[in-house]
Amino acid sequence: MATDVMATPVAATGGKIKSELMQQRVRAARWFLLPMLIALAVVAGWPLLRSIYFSFTDASLNNIDGAEWIGFGNYFRVQQLASGAVRYRGLLVDADWWNAVWNTLRFAATSVFFEAVLGMVVALVLNAEFKGRGIVRAAILIPWAIPTIVSAKMWSWMLNDQFGILNDLGMRLGLLSQKVAWTATAETAMQAVLVVDIWKTTPFMALLILAGLQMVPKDIYEAAEIDGVHPIKQFFRITLPLVRPALMVAIIFRLLDALRIFDLIYVLTPNSSATKTMSVLARENLFDFDKFAYGSAMSTLLFLIIAILTIVYIWLGKVRFDGGDR
Please check whether residue 81 lies inside any domain of the structure. no
- Specify whether 128 is located in the same domain as 193: yes
* Residue 125 sits in the same domain as residue 235: yes
Same domain, 100 and 185: yes
Q: Helix (H, G, I), strand (E, B), or coil: what is residue 88?
A: strand
- Domain with 103 in it: 95-290
The answer to whether residue 317 scores a pLDDT higher than 80 is: no
Examine the domain organization and report whether 112 and 31 are in the same domain.
Answer: no
**50 belongs to a structural domain:** no
**139/3 same-domain check:** no
Question: Would you call 87 helix, strand, or coil by DSSP?
Answer: strand
pLDDT confidence of 45, banded at 50, 70, 90?
confident
Buried b (16+ CB within 10 A) or exposed e, 82-94: eeeeeeeebbeeb
Predicted confidence (pLDDT) per residue in 197-255, tens digit: 999 999 999 999 999 998 888 888 888 888 888 888 888 888 888 898 889 889 998 99
Note the maximum CA span of the chain: 100
Residue 86 main-chain phi, psi, to 5 deg: -110, 135
| 133 and 23 part of one domain | no
Residue among 145, 183, 151, 188 at smallest CA distance from 164: 183
- State mean pLDDT over 152-171: 90
- Please choose, from the candidates 193, 235, 231, the residue with its C-alpha nearest in 3D space to the C-alpha of residue 216: 235
pLDDT confidence tier of residue 53, bands split at 50, 70 and 90: very high
Confidence check: pLDDT of 11 > 80: no
DSSP 79: E
Quick one: average pLDDT of 90-96?
92
Q: Which amino acid is at 13?
A: T
- Does one domain contain both 12 and 122? no
**245: Cβ contacts below 8 Å, ≥ 6 apart:** 212
Q: Are residues 28 and 154 in the same domain?
A: no
Whether 137 and 3 share a structural domain: no
Residue % of the chain over a pLDDT of 70: 92
